[in-house]
Amino acid sequence: MYRKVLALIAALALSVSSFSMIAAHGEDLKKPLTAPKITAGSTGYIFKARPAKWSDNGPSSFQWVLSGKALPSVGLTLKLKSSDNKRKLQFVESHIFDDGSTVTAKSNTITIGNVLLSESLTIRVRPSDDKVMEIAALPKSIPSTAKPVYQWYVGYFEIKGATKSTYNLKTSDLGNDISLQVNFVAKGFVTAKKTSNTVAIANITRKYDQIWSEEFNGPAGAPADPAVWVAQNGDGVAFGNRGWGNNERQWYDDKISSTNGSGSYVIKATTTGAGVNSCYYKGPCEWASTKLVTKDKVGFKYGRIEARIKGPIGNGTWGAFWLLGADIDDRGWPGCGEIDVTELLGRLPNSSLGYIHSPNGSPGSTVEMATPHHAGYHTYAVDWLPDQIRYFLDGVPFATQNRPDNGWVFDHEFYIIINLAMGGNLGGEIAANLKDTSMEFDYIRVYSINGVGEVIKR
């Protein structure tokens, strides 16, 4: 008897479940197979409706609704005016099934006077040129007269000046995400905005190949190689730059400096014999030192510029390894551009200063080192690329200057300068007990970076 009761309960449950499934299926049959949809014509004020699809062939009636108000038009096409802007349009369809029941279906909603967009915005790296971003798919707009306005982004930040349909990738973009935002603008319409997919730009490993070097391997007491170096002697007056533009206290004389026979060139600075020359400050010169340049001998354009240097000791010393634009005689300074790979000051014995100078100003940075620059050799370098200058100390980057929209003058030939100044605006007051000091160059080397870098020999 107990088993019969259980069987009866199970049968009833199955019957109820089956009925529920049939009822649910019946309800689904009374939903539209596809919802009605409205689209706008090319002018943005003519609209067409596509009726819903149903599971039977019963009749349907149609109604346009504008901001909750039924319109007299019952057809599948509707024309509105600009005075209807900001109002919301919808298409409503009522369908009568064979059993006499009625179901209402509503379309998508369109705001009148808004620029409407179809499809997605897709960007990509141009297949034929991996340095250019381009649009792979641009949405169509309604009205068709809407004008696209472009703005490229790196990460979450606008890229200043990047307002064209293509974007030329920069060195600073490596390792970052690039995207595009397009505003579609049409007179009398509310602007529509579309944001693209993001494209991750690979962080390319830099490959360095040596293309030039100065190893200073001459015998002890030998001058610098005259095929490479030119001395700029004096106090700057003969060059139209008295005190070398910085109120420096030395007279340059290349004869007092030389290679040391151990693979280094030693720039000496001394008070001994300096007074035989008369300096711009109307008296005997206080110091003698050396300044050498590769101007009109060897020029450089892009690449890694690197030197291994032991800095000078003593307050008032100002040693430098730097570059000037080879067009300085035509454009002057700072129009020619200046790249200070390092400036080593006796008053800042644990610091290396790296700056660039151009009509845009003098941005740069200072990096601190664990031991004084005069206590041993350190390697100072810049990676100079067409759109970026990056500073390194002992192989570690510490500052980057990216090309701005205007005023970048680091796109032509430069020449190298090595010198040890005394005093001056940056060197500061010279220690009263300082009589002799020096700065040593172990080598200067130039490398191409992924094939970018050039040596120009005169």
Alpha carbon distance 137, 114 (integer Å) = 21
Q: Of 100, 101, 99, 80, which Cα lies nearest the Cα of 90? A: 80
Pairing of β 287-289 and β 250-252: parallel
Residue 215: per-residue pLDDT? 98
Residue 144: both structure tokens together: 């068709």
Tens digits of pLDDT across the chain (458 residues): 445 444 444 444 444 444 444 444 556 678 999 999 999 998 999 999 999 999 999 999 999 999 999 999 779 999 999 999 999 999 999 999 989 999 999 999 999 999 999 889 999 999 999 999 999 999 999 999 999 999 999 999 999 999 999 999 999 999 999 999 999 999 999 999 999 999 999 999 999 999 999 999 999 999 999 999 999 999 999 999 999 999 999 999 999 999 999 999 999 999 999 999 999 999 999 999 999 999 999 999 999 999 999 999 999 999 999 999 999 999 999 999 999 999 999 999 999 999 999 999 999 999 999 999 999 999 999 999 999 999 999 999 999 999 988 899 999 999 999 999 999 999 999 999 999 999 999 999 999 999 999 999 98
Burial 417-440 (b: 16+ CB within 10 A, else e): bbbbbbbbebbbebeeebeebbbb
Residue 19: phi, psi to the nearest 5? -60, -45
* Range 37-111: architecture per CATH: Sandwich (2.60)
Please give the pLDDT value at position 452.
Answer: 97
Q: Which amino acid is at 136?
A: A
Identify the bridge partners of residue 208 per DSSP, sorted by sequence position: 449
Rounded to 10 degrees, the C-alpha dihedral 104/110/116/119 comes to: -30
Taking the C-alpha atoms of residue 244 and residue 289, their distance in angstroms, rounded to an integer, is 13
Question: Check: CATH 2.40.30.160 for 116-200?
Answer: no
pLDDT at 74: 74
Cα–Cα distance, 204 to 388 (Å, whole number): 15
pLDDT at 153: 98
Cβ atoms of 427 and 408 closer than 8 Å:
no
> Cα–Cα distance between 384 and 414 in angstroms, integer?
11
* CATH top-level class of 208-457: mainly beta
